[in-house]
Amino acid sequence: MSLASSEVDIKTRSRALELIRSHFKKLVEESEKGHKLQLVFPKRTLSNTIYDQKAKMLLLGPDVQYRSFTDINEAKKFMQTLLMASIIYNTLRNNEYPTIRDLFYRGKHSISYTSVDGKTISENSWDEQRESDSVIRDLEVLLNILREDLLILSKEKGKVVGNLVIRSGNDVIDLSKMGHGAYAIEPTPDLIEFIDVDAEYVLVVEKDAVFQQLHRYGFWRKNKVVLVTSAGQPDRATRRFVRRLSEEYKLPVYVLCDSDPYGFYIYSVFKVGSITLSYESERLSTPTAKFIGVTLTDIFGTEIFKDVLKKHGVKEALEEVTKGISKLGSKQPYLTPEERKNFVIKAKLRDVERAVELVGYRVAEACLESPEYKSKIKRKEGASGYPWFLTPEWVRELCIFFYTTSKLEIEAITGKGLKFLADEYIPRKIKSGDWIE
């Protein structure tokens, strides 16, 4: 081992090597016995992805798939899986830290063979990185391990600052002393040791620019907050880091995103996981995460929704989707009509289509006013929405979105002044419990 390797890396490498050895040793034993060679692991498909209402996260279902060496339809995938496992095993032995792009190139090659009719045929191990990435995800499921625990690295994206002291590798780092910068969450967050955590909650901010503003303003010091940014769609490391703080230190997690279907979805990735990585939701998702804003009711209040409910058939249609929607409480908007006029952005068709994916066509049909958009999303009629968005609070939010076809960025709140965002908006919402789960 290199002297540069930390003790935690050495232990992780050793565990990963043993896991791969023990798992694929079974294939060697089966081969020696003359048995059929096959791999068996859960299906990573949409049809086998379920939303666990009790756990409040996406999980893989019970269906499994068989990848057999002797099945002409599965032989290539079988060999791709073994090839990738071999490459990863060698990087571990050689004390390396590959990226998923490295692994793509290391395994990319052509094999030539002669067909039964005498023709020479060449076939690539894989042509595009999406193929090798899929094989890596298969190995994660097969071995029941995160790729990060195989010391496969990815680009750092998320950042964090706060009253935290951590050990990363051989170094102890005080995250309260990062100057105007922040700690870039490393791609192997499980190898971080939390030495001291002095915080009352975690605030995840979608926008990096808003994160920087709150950091410079000293928001995390004044409120004893671990301040995190996902810089858009969260990467795995950021999700795992947040999950660890929630799970190990029981810190409440609040998520601050744009008030649009994309911001809503980013929150749901933190909370329930993603379909692509549903097999790792138990380690990556944070079921207790709360969406504090920006919400459509922050912009318009709730009176506008009452007006929508009075329209013919709307209340009945929404009650069929989610019970108790007409019993939701009232609240006043944070923006005045003049501010709303200046800050609100008109939603585009793709925003409306994304909202349909979240909450279903029935809500869109009941609440959407725009004839232009309504005609163009007819093809979405079969969409029923994600179960975790079919709650009274979320249906109300999305109904207001469809009715107004309006969205708003977090920066619009800072348009009222950074002091308003940091000293009034966020603290008031958290203190009053004005969030959506």
Secondary element (H or E) of residue 345: strand 345-346
Identify which of 388, 352, 358 has the alpha carbon closest to the alpha carbon of residue 372.
352
DSSP 151-168: T-B-----EEESSEEEEE
Identify which of 325, 437, 321 has the alpha carbon closest to the alpha carbon of residue 383.
321
Q: For the chain, 437 residues long, give each residue's pLDDT as a single digit of tens.
A: 444 567 888 899 999 999 999 988 888 888 887 777 888 888 777 777 878 778 777 877 787 888 888 777 888 888 899 999 999 999 999 999 999 999 999 999 888 878 778 888 888 888 899 999 989 988 988 888 888 889 998 888 899 999 999 999 889 999 999 999 999 999 989 889 999 999 999 999 999 999 999 999 999 999 999 999 998 889 989 999 999 999 999 999 999 999 999 999 999 999 988 777 666 777 888 999 999 989 999 989 888 888 888 887 788 888 888 888 878 888 888 888 888 888 888 999 899 989 998 988 888 888 888 777 877 776 655 567 888 898 999 999 999 999 999 998 888 887 788 899 999 999 999 999 999 98
According to CATH, the topology of domain 7-150 is Arc Repressor Mutant, subunit A (1.10.10)
pLDDT value of residue 209: 92
Tokens of 134: 């899929």
Cβ neighbours of 181 (radius 10 Å): 10
Listed in sequence order, the residues at least 6 apart from 158 whose beta carbon sits closer than 8 Å to its beta carbon are 184, 185, 228, 229, 230, 231, 234, 235, 237, 238, 241
Kindly provide the residue ranges of all beta strands, DSSP E only, lying in 54-163, ordered along the sequence: 57-60, 64-68, 110-114, 120-124, 159-161
Q: Please, are residues 270 and 286 in contact by the beta-carbon 8 Å criterion? A: yes
Tokens of 426: 């966020």
Rounded CA separation 212/205 (Å): 10
Listed in sequence order, the residues at least 6 apart from 105 whose beta carbon sits closer than 8 Å to its beta carbon are none
Rounded CA separation 390/392 (Å): 7
What are 153's strand-pairing partners?
99
Sign for the CA dihedral angle at 411, 435, 263, 189 comes to positive
pLDDT value of residue 278: 67
Residues annotated as catalytic are 105
Residue with tokens 């929404």: 318
Rounded CA separation 408/424 (Å): 18
pLDDT value of residue 3: 44
pLDDT value of residue 380: 53
Contacts of 117-124 with C-beta under 8 Å, sequence gap 24+, read 123/76
Sign for the CA dihedral angle at 156, 157, 158, 162 comes to positive
Rounded CA separation 381/362 (Å): 8
Backbone angles phi, psi at 171, to 5 degrees: -110, 145
Identify which of 57, 54, 27 has the alpha carbon closest to the alpha carbon of residue 40.
27
Rounded CA separation 69/75 (Å): 5
Helices marked H in 273-391: 281-284, 296-300, 303-309, 314-321, 337-343, 349-359, 361-367, 371-376
Tokens of 429: 């919402």
The tally of CA atoms less than 13 A away on the side-chain side of residue 347 is: 28
